[in-house]
Chains A and B, each alone.
Chain A
Amino acid sequence: MIEIKDLNKVFEGRGGSHHALRDVNLTIEDGDIFGIIGQSGAGKSTLVRCINLLERPTSGSIVIDGKDITDYQGRDLLDLRAGIGMIFQHFSLFQQRTVLQNVMFPLELRKEPKAKREARARELLEAVGMAGYEERYPSELSGGQQQRVAIARALANDPKIMLCDEATSALDTRTTVAILNLLKEINEKLGVTMVVITHSLAVAQKICNRVAVIDYGEVVEEGRTVEVFANPQSSVTRELIEHDTLSAVVDVKKEAE
């Protein structure tokens, strides 16, 4: 369980300070696929990056499985991060490493014996449908294939939590669906808790059991996905829904042309 309590994040920049997160309170249960939606710049990435402390909260706390991790430093911090998988919008695969070496990377960091990490990496590539691509380089793969490899890499340390920052935003519709199905499968089979950032309501609707809507750094709505979408309480959520239907219409038009 991830408990986010009274979280604030203020960025101090040259042009003054920017309050990116304001008094965020959220509880993400084990096994959830928790959606975080909101407009660009709302603070979604900042919030998720606070969970593995890529971003240090300005105040408030993050408690994972009863342990307050907010002030973790040194070895504890690295171990915490190792136990949380993460995937990114642009895949972030190491360009000079083969697919196999990419998946072995997190294990290499923990100094696992070579034979063991290779066996594990092959097993993971098989699981994400990328067996046979071990010796390829990322530049030789499609976006969807790269994201599969990134997912395998994120699973290398058997994480209990996986953070997905716009993991399907760079992919076409069909590939998006395939990746979402894979994430769902991982959630169901391995019981990995997922925190999924998206600005697409379709994505949230497809895989998230709960969602939080954030706007200007504040959680404006939170609840079961079906309920939030069927009965939106905030104007932001309504706006997002409107926008999404709009873009769906545009998509249909585009395809018809």
Chain B
Amino acid sequence: MEFLASFFDQYGMLLLDGTVDTLVMTVLSTLFAYVIGVPVGVLLVVTSPNGLRPHKALNTVLGWIVNIGRSIPFIILLVAIIPFTRLVVGTSLGVPGAIVPLVVTAAPFVARMVEQSLEEVDGGLVEAAQSFGASTWQIVSKVYLRESLPSLIRGVSITFVTLFGYSAMAGTVGAGGLGDIAIRYGYQRYQTDVMIAAVILCVVLVQVFQTAGDVLARKIDKRR
């Protein structure tokens, strides 16, 4: 008990700061990844050969961009886009410096997940909506997005957890966060206790968010 008390006295603030940094990085990059990924995913579905507005060129080019984005390993992307990161947020360091590469790597991933969720929507429902005179935009918003909402929410928790893991790697650009703490203290200073505490925090946070996502998705899903 005493050990724990003195441990938290010494490292409590550090771990709290790390948790906040990790959450800020993960939440914001998930958010921005969706701001970009949802429209791209919708476009991929709408412009596909069997989509509402087939457009071969646009669909192919978008597909390429998404695939290229997904094929670059994060750790390389992190360094490779430093000039771009500086351009966008003014620095390549710290939490803002980490969010840019996190968004760049997650947005194509999100686009594909959104595409997949929307493709799962029964074509019969799209046709029913068309038969009532729904416009393309109405079908996207009132049928595709609405009917796939449980699946989209599951995607959000997957993205969140993935970015949570990636944000640890972003520690290498001095982004801070729990991953950074685990590496600095555990690997570089051999303070195993701090490393273990950071890792436990990661595990708990991931469990909490994954479970929350699952519960929410199940709760709003009205299918059998």
Contacts and interface: CB of A to CB of B under 8 A. Distances in A.
B124 A54 contact: no
Looking at chain B's contact residues, the main secondary structure is: helix
A139 B224 contact: yes
B193 interface: no
A94 B127 contact: no
A126 interface: no
Given A86-B128, A105-B142, A96 B149 contact: yes
A133 interface: no
Contacts of B150: 96
Interface residues of A, number: 30
A92 interface: yes
Given A95-B147, A96-B147, A108-B142, A54 B223 contact: no
Interface stretch (A31-39, A75-83, A171-179): A75-83
A109 B138 contact: yes
Contact of A94 (B131, B146, B220): B146
A172 B150 CA distance: 32
Interface string B136-165: 001000110011011000000000000000
Contact of A109 (B133, B149, B220, B222): B133
B131 A90 contact: no
A15 B77 CA distance: 43
Chain B interface size range: 20 to 34
A90 B128 CA distance: 11
B65 interface: no
A46 to B, nearest CB: 13
B132 interface: yes
Nearest to A74: B135
B131 A84 contact: yes
Contacts of A54: 127, 130-131
A25 interface: no
Contacts of B220: 96
A52 B147 contact: no
Contact of A137 (B128, B131, B134, B222): B222
A233 B125 CA distance: 39
A106 interface: yes
B132 A105 contact: yes
Contacts of B224: 139
B147 A80 contact: no
Interface in B116-130: 122, 124-125, 127-130
A95 B128 contact: no
Given A95-B147, A96-B147, A96-B149, A78 B134 contact: yes
7 contacts: A78-B134, A86-B132, A95-B222, A96-B220, A106-B132, A109-B142, A153-B132
Interface of B: 122, 124-125, 127-135, 138, 142-143, 146-147, 149-150, 220-224
Interface of A: 52, 54, 77-84, 86, 88, 90, 92, 94-97, 105-106, 108-110, 137-139, 153, 156-157, 163
